[in-house]
Structure 1
Amino acid sequence: MSRMLLIRILFLSLLLVLPATAQDILTGGSTTPAEESADPEASSAAVDDLIRILEDDTARAALIERLQQAAPEAEGAQAQETVAPDMSIARQLAEYTQGIAEGASNSVRSIGLALGNLQALFDGTMNADGEALRQFAINIGLLIAALFGSFFLLRLIANALGRMIAARVSARGVVARITGLLGLAVIDVASILLAWGLGYVLALNFGTTSRGFMGINQSLLLNAFLVVELIKLGVRIVLEPRFSALRFLPVTEGNAAYWSFWSARVISLLGYAFMFVAPMLSGLVSRPVGGAVEVLAMATAVTIGIIITLQNKDDVRQWLGQISERRGNDGFGQMLAAIGRFWHLVVIAYLVALLVVWFANPETALPFMIAATMQSVFAVLIGSLVVGFISRFVSTGLSLPDDVRQRLPLLESRLKSFVPAVMRVVRWIVIAAVVIAIGQAWALFDFASWIGSEEGLAVAGSVVSAALILLAAIVLYVVVASWVEYRLNVNFGKVPTSREKTLLNLFKNAFTVALVVFGAMLALAQIGVNIAPLLAGAGVVGLAIGFGAQKLVQDIITGIFIQFENIMNEGDVVTVGSWSGVVEKLTIRSVTIRDLSGTVHLVPFSSVEQVSNMMRGFSYHLAEIGVSYDSDIEEVKSAMHEAFDRLMQTEHKDEILDDLEMHGVTGFGDSAIMVRARIKTLPGTQWGTGRRYNQIIKEVFDERGIEIPYPHVTYVPAAGGGASKSPPPAGRVEDQREDSAD
């Protein structure tokens, strides 16, 4: 007896915890939701039956036998559940097509059931509550008439106020037009809310037999009216087909009216069908009737969309073709032209796919596709705006203010070379982001989950870090190059010396090389590239170059010592090897010299054994004048001092550093006595000062009658040919050539 009591307690506990399972065991089948929600008296009767079964030995033995038979079956079912499902592409495709077929079948069957229900309704088989149905039709009809009638009158008033607002702001600025558009939007919203509120008042007071209460169908109608009209209002605000003065979208009157008309019709069709007609018929008649209305509305909307697409096929193709021609049929223009040829096929295929998918799964497919479409359109719109701005920025170019351009003449050209390249990279990044957003919207891949994972965060962090390093390197190069350019600009700040010019240019070149190397290495390290082999390889390559290019190494080493010794700088006049001229460019390996004739010579430092700089510290003009032997030397010196005094009254006075340094007679030539003097000048000005001094010397000597001898030839005729020419003046050299007669 105690064992029987224990069994009863055990099964009663089982019934309390899992009543549905106990009922299945007792009945040998599964329970339905209706049976689970049965009256408590039925559960009490089941408990009594179980007690009787347990008290009866035969029934209890049968129950135990059935439990023993059910255990292996349950284990087998559990084992089948643990088997991994077949996730092959073929099976997924089969399941998807099965869902489409079943959904389409259910839709067709719902249409048939709906037609049968409507026929039964009109035949009187479902008119048991005919009076209530007629009363409902009267109430809903009165509500519709009152709602839309009041809304029509309010719209007339709103249109009159809108005409006044448009006339007032038509000749004014953008701010006034925006204010007018907002005011018109407020008036339209107020008209919708007033009509909606009036409808609720009528429904609460006249819609049912009891005041203060309204039916669910009246509420469906009013809510559908509010949602649909607000959406239509949003479209009207964007297109503004009524008042062109308040329209900001660049469309014509005809296009604005066309698209406003058809968008309003499609929105009304889908909104009222899904939010009012289908739920109302589902409650009044049957769910298949409501489903049939949804199918009919969806098919009608898709048909309208296909008709609109075919009507605008040529217009859109011509519009995109004109854009392509304006862009010169470049890559983007050719893409637009291709889209113009095939866009209608893509849209029609999308609409048909939307209808088919909705047939397959009407509960979730339509919201998913609408949400994915809106997200895709939004992503494409934002991406187009960003890409358009970048393209306009690149095509327009970068223009700096005049003061910045004067201080940094090369900065604008430098930015114009870097900024377009950076903008092109940014444009491709934006395009990739748009593609990712579209794929995410259509569930092609889960980029958000991947980027939120550890792997995604690591990859994104590496890419962003590498991009920031490259961007920082570019910015740093522009800053350093601009600073060097500013320091070398003689029109602003301190005038740079030749040494500063040389060192700043060398610093810019060395900094650029180091920045490129280190920036590339750091960027590669951020994206996961092991740079240790690269560094080792660079060392080996450098060693090989050192052995194979000894001249190059010699050039560099000699150039380093030349820079340390500061023997020459850019702008100096030097003699390097066998070449003399102005130093135009000085690197660590070679020097570029332009001689007096304009010829440019590149001299590697490995061939330089001696450097002569004629512009270091100060210079001298060495005036060595030849005078005749009969000249008074003191008179010559006095003339040279007078010429120097006259030179000090010319524009060269600021270039002369000291008085005339007279050296006196320095030599005796064949025809002249050499008298030398020296003028100390600023470096690089000795040639101009010397040329001016020589000119003044000639003038002073002419004034004083001091002769500057020059060689000449005297012809002496033959003895019988007449008297010879008179001898030349003293002090002149004569090269006498006598021709003796035979």
Structure 2
Amino acid sequence: MPWILLLFFCLFCAPAQAVTIPGITPAATTSSTPPPEPDAEEKKAAYAALADVLENETSRKELIDQLRAVAATPPEQPVPTVAPVEEADEKTVLENVTDIGRHYGEAFSDRLAQLYRNLIGSPHKPFNPQTFSNAATHFLILAGLVFGFYWLARLCVWPLYRKMGDWGRRKNRDRGSWLHLPLMIISAFIIDLALLAVTLFIGQMLSDRLHAGNKTIAFQQGLFLNAFALIEFFKAILRLIFCPHAPQLRPFAITDGQAKYWALRLSALSSLIGYGLLVAVPIISNQVNVQIGALANVIIMLFITVWALYLIFHNKKTITEHLLALADRSLAFFSLFIRAFALVWHWLACAYFIVLFFFSLFDPGNSLKFMMGATVRSLAIIGIAAFVSGLLSRWLSKTITLSPHVQRNYPELQKRVNGWISVSLKVARILTVCVAILLLLNAWGLFDFWNWLHNGAGEKTVDILIRIALILFFSAIGWTVLASLIENRLVSDVHGRPLPSARARTLLTLFRNALAVIISTITIMTVLSEIGVNIAPLLAGAGALGLAISFGAQTLVKDIITGIFIQFENGMNTGDLVTIGPLTGTVERMSIRSVGVRQDTGAYHIIPWSSITTFANFVRGIGSIVANYDVDRHEDAERAKQALKDAVEELMSMEDIRGLVIGEPTFTGIVGLTNTAFTLRVTFTTQPLKQWTVRFALDSMVKKHFDLAHIRAPVQLYQLLPPEPPQAPAQEPTL
């Protein structure tokens, strides 16, 4: 069964009467003659009693008021006696619960006793059949005319409803025109209410003509019109939800059979409750007998309660399955509420009708009006809250798209703005649910929401929430503006503004992280102070904790200080090729405590700043190549030099290599001589990190030209010694 059926069984606890636990009035005090001079023990006891009085805020205030009254007494009036304030004993929670239970138990037993007296001991009223039949005839004529006119009027507008539904469905197929169908549904409901108002107007005119000046007839017809207005309004809400005769206007996915099933039964149930309690029971009590009226009330409500419980448990499994299926199709936010409701809806529905049964026994007219009014208000609150939450969820799926120019200058601004809007909409959705719950409690008399909102804790809570919202709003605006300005400095623009240096990027990134920590800390502290948390101990504790940490974590402090100085001295930046101790790699990450270096093997090293004593940076200013080439000692030195120069000349003629070399290469000549080779040297000055590219190209050219000039590399000579001749084995002497 569709989940909407549960709205008619969404049962909240019965409206509880406010219970006032009377306060304890201080006992009257009497004056007495001054006692004699107390001894030391009595003085100590008196001081302790006075301290107890002053410690309690209520007793202290009363004592101050008495003292001021004594001080303000004119001389001609007798000075009032200052009496000690007697402290009232505070009741425990168990005692309060017991008192409340006793209060409601006594009230319930009194109501049962009153019902018993109505059934047994009420005075009999003489029954006049002629008066009763005359009043019943006029009553039935009015009821028949009103029902007939209302049925004909609704029959005439059914084709209009179908056309409105077809038009709304056709427009709703376009995703951009989703509002047309809800507009048609609301318009149909307004037309239904207008027909009800016209019918009531005509019914009142007929009543004025049919009662013939008889007060009894007028009274009965007035009861009928009041019940008709209440019950038909509730049925209009049923038609709004189920639409058994105009499926095109049905707002929920319900089959025609299910819609007719529940619309018929809920309409019949509401008619029995309304016309039975608001019309039949008062007429029987007034025209026939009070006992018979009370008995009819009990029979009607017992039948309605049994029938309602049968419907609840007969359809329990089907409705629960539909609720769980709806939860699977819903968003995660709504799915949790729907699943929880699927587990307890039948108990809430049972509680609703059982409470209505007992209340109707004690006060049929007022209890029914209260329950019907609370039900209608609850449906309206749930519907409005669901609509608002649905709109917020729909807006959550949308994003704001900034212009390409703004995205280029502020790359993280769009993501950040959409993030803030998403969080704000989620908070608004949670607040909508909370307000809806409070309004539901208010509708059922369990909580005075409006009094709470305008007085005391409610006003203070709303004030705190508004101030917290303003604090978070301005914090978000401040962080967004400052972070966007920093990110704008980290990018180039379309007008050719170059990227900032690596040092500037590193410092701006560290400043942005520090700014995030500062703004978050200030915001959290301010919010805590707004909700009443004393942040002075937190600040003092943070200072003491920071001092303890500074003594216990000296290495961490040393890391931070060393890292700050290295950053301001522009020692290294992200992307630089550095050598730190035995490690050579590229700087990938720099924080205030450590640096992350990636070797060419792929290994990633995290090096604390304090462990760095010296380091080499290959990206500072220039790169340098010192190329040494060994040539065999027997080769012609001049020919070898010329081959090296030809190799360098061809290398410098390459455009992609020439752009990497700063200035001209330097030929040093022979820089080393051994017994097997001599060494030729040429040096280059290159752009940072380009020295290896130039060196690899140079080696290729030198190999090529040395081969063309037949310049040999040093040859390692080996001397082979002949083996020693074998010696003849020694012979033993013979005799």
TM-score by length of 1: 0.69
Structure 1 residue 529, shift from structure 2 partner? 3.0
Give 1:505 deviation, angstroms.
Answer: 3.0
Check the 8 A contact 2:234/2:376 in 1, yes or no.
no
Structure 1 residue 236, shift from structure 2 partner:
0.8
SS at the partner of 1:529?
coil
Q: Distance in 1 between matches of 2:639 and 2:122?
A: 137
Write the distance in 1 (CA, Å) between the matches of 2:607 and 2:233.
81
TM-superposition CA deviations, 1:532-575 (whole Å, max 9, x none): 33333333333333333333333322222212211211111122
2:638 alignment partner AA? I
Task: Tell me whether 1:352 sits opposite 2:366 in the alignment.
Answer: no
Other-structure match for 1:158: 157
Compared with structure 1, are the counterparts of its residues 368 and 484 closer, same or farther at alpha carbon in structure 2 (3 Å cutoff)?
same
Residue in structure 1 matching 2:622, options 618, 623, 639? 618
Separation of aligned partners in 2, 1:198 and 1:382: 32
Q: Match of 2:212?
A: 208
CA distance 1:567–1:529, shift in 2 (3 Å):
same
Residue 514 of structure 1 aligns with an amino acid whose one-letter code is I
Partner SS for 2:545: helix
Q: Is the 8 A contact 2:146 2:203 kept in 1?
A: yes
Distance verdict in 2 for CA 1:601–1:416, change over 3 Å: farther
CA distance in 1, matches of 2:283, 2:511: 83
* Distance in 2 separating the partners of 1:547 and 1:209: 99
Which deviates more, 421-430 or 679-688? 421-430
Answer whether contact 2:124 2:290 (CA < 8 A) is retained: no
Pairing partner for 1:651 from 656, 666, 673: 656
CA distance in 1, matches of 2:366, 2:544: 65
| 1:691 matched to 2:704 | no
Distance 1:177 1:617, change over 3 A: same
> Whole-Å Cα distance in 2 between the matches of residues 642 and 635 of structure 1?
11
Aligned counterparts, 1:440-459, within 5 A:
440-444=442-446, 446=448, 448-450=450-452, 452-454=454-456, 457-458=459-460
SS of equivalent residue, structure 2 residue 663: coil
Q: Give 1:141 shift.
A: 3.4
Instruction: Give the conservation status (yes or no) of the 8 Å contact 1:647–1:692.
Output: no
Deviation at residue 266 of structure 1 after TM alignment: 2.8
Q: Secondary structure at the match of 1:249?
A: coil
User: Could you report, residue by residue, the CA deviation over 1:458-515 in whole angstroms, capped at 9, with x for unpaired residues?
Assistant: 4554466456656765776677667666765689974343212321332233334334
Contact in 1 for aligned 2:409/2:492 (Cα 8 Å):
no
CA contact (8 A) 1:570 1:583 kept: yes
* Alpha-carbon distance change, 434 to 597 in structure 1, aligned in 2, over 3 angstroms: same
* Residue 522 (structure 1) aligns with: 526
Deviation at 1:261, TM superposition (A): 0.9
Match of 2:265 in 1: 262
Counterpart in 1 of 2:645? Answer: 640
Deviation digits for residues 569-627 of structure 1 (CA, Å, limit 9, x no counterpart): 11111222333222222233332222333333333333322222221122223333334
Greater shift, 244-253 or 174-183, is seen at: 174-183
* Matching residue's letter, 1:157: C
CA contact (8 A) 1:398 1:416 kept: yes
Q: Structure 1 315/513 Cα, relative in aligned 2: closer, same or farther at 3 Å?
A: same
The number of equivalent residue pairs is 624
Matches for 1:256-655 after TM superposition, within 5 Å? 256-273=259-276, 276-277=279-280, 297-322=300-325, 340=342, 343-362=345-364, 365-374=367-376, 433=435, 436-444=438-446, 446=448, 448-450=450-452, 452-454=454-456, 457-458=459-460, 461-462=463-464, 465=467, 469=471, 494-629=498-633, 630-633=635-638, 636-637=641-642, 639-640=644-645, 643-655=648-660
SS in 2 for 1:657: strand
Amino acid at match of 2:307: I
**More off after superposition, 243-252 vs 302-311:** 302-311
> Following the alignment from structure 2 to structure 1, what is the Cα–Cα distance between the partners of residues 192 and 352?
34
2:110 equivalent among 102, 122, 130: 102
1:185-220, Cα deviation, whole Å (9 max, x unpaired): 56655654555555455445565389xxx9454455
Residue 279 to residue 541, structure 1, CA distance change in 2 (3 Å): closer
Matches within 5 A, 1:141-156: 141-156=140-155
Amino acid at match of 2:698: Y
1:583–1:593 contact (8 Å) kept in structure 2: yes
Go from structure 1 to structure 2 and tell me whether the alpha carbon gap of 1:413 and 1:669 turns closer, same or farther (over 3 Å shift): farther
- Cα distance in 2 for residues equivalent to 1:199 and 1:296: 30
Q: Could you tell me how far apart the structure 2 residues matched to 1:367 and 1:593 are? A: 77
Q: CA deviation at 1:372?
A: 4.7
Residue type at the aligned position of 1:679: F
Q: Answer whether contact 1:643 1:696 (CA < 8 A) is retained.
A: yes
Relative to structure 1, is the Cα distance of residues 656 and 290 closer, same or farther in structure 2, using a 3 angstrom cutoff?
A: farther
Q: Which has the larger radius of gyration?
A: 1
Q: Secondary structure at the match of 2:671?
A: strand
Provide the C-alpha distance between the structure 2 equivalents of 1:414 and 1:200, rounded to a whole number of angstroms: 62
Bigger mean CA deviation after superposition, 471-480 or 296-305: 471-480
Distance 1:94 1:237 in 2: 44
Distance in 2 (CA, whole Å) between partners of 1:182 and 1:373 is 19
Tell me, yes or no, if the aligned pair for 1:158 and 1:191 is still in contact at 8 Å: no
Residues 1:509 and 1:488: Cα distance change in structure 2 (over 3 Å): same
Cα distance in 2 between the residues matched to 1:255 and 1:114 = 46
**Normalising by structure 2, what TM-score?**
0.70
* Matches of 1:713 and 1:463, distance apart in 2: 92
Instruction: Name the counterpart of 2:31.
Output: none
1:399-442 superposed Cα distances (whole Å, 9 cap, x missing partner): 98997999999899999999999988777766655554454445
CA deviations on 1:42-61 (whole Å, 9 max, x unpaired) are xxxxxxxxxxxxxxxxxxxx
Gaps of 5+ in 1: 1-82, 719-738
Amino acid at match of 2:562: T
Mapped to 2, the partners of 1:153 and 1:456 lie a distance apart of 50
DSSP 3-state at the match of 2:656: coil
Query: Residues 11-33 of structure 1: CA distance to partner in whole angstroms, max 9, x if unpaired?
Result: xxxxxxxxxxxxxxxxxxxxxxx
Look up the SS of the partner of 1:591 in the other structure.
Answer: strand
2:190, 2:453 → 1: CA distance? Answer: 43
2:229 aligned with 1:229, yes or no?
A: no
Match runs of 1:174-213 below 5 Å: 177-178=181-182, 181=185, 184-185=188-189, 188=192, 192=196, 195-200=199-204, 202-204=206-208, 208=212
Q: Residue type of the partner of 1:540?
A: A
Query: Is the contact made by 1:627 and 1:706 (CA closer than 8 Å) also made in structure 2?
Result: no
Bigger drift between 488-497 and 409-418 goes to 409-418
Distance 1:537 1:194, change over 3 A: closer
Distance 1:697 1:256, change over 3 A: same
For 1:682, the equivalent position in structure 2 comes to 687
Do the aligned partners of residues 254 and 568 (structure 1) sit closer, same or farther apart at CA in structure 2, a change above 3 Å counting?
Answer: same
SS at match of 1:582: strand
Q: Which moved more, 1:535-544 or 1:463-472?
A: 463-472
Q: Structure 2: give runs of 5+ residues left out of the alignment.
A: 1-87, 173-177, 727-735
The equivalent position to 1:252 in structure 2, one of 249, 252, 255, is 255
SS in 2 for 1:594: strand
Contact kept, 8 Å, 1:637 with 1:664, in 2: the verdict is: no
Percent identity, please.
28
8 Å CA contact 1:113, 1:289 repeated in 2: no
- One-letter amino acid of the counterpart of residue 143, structure 2: I
Cα shift at 1:660: 2.8
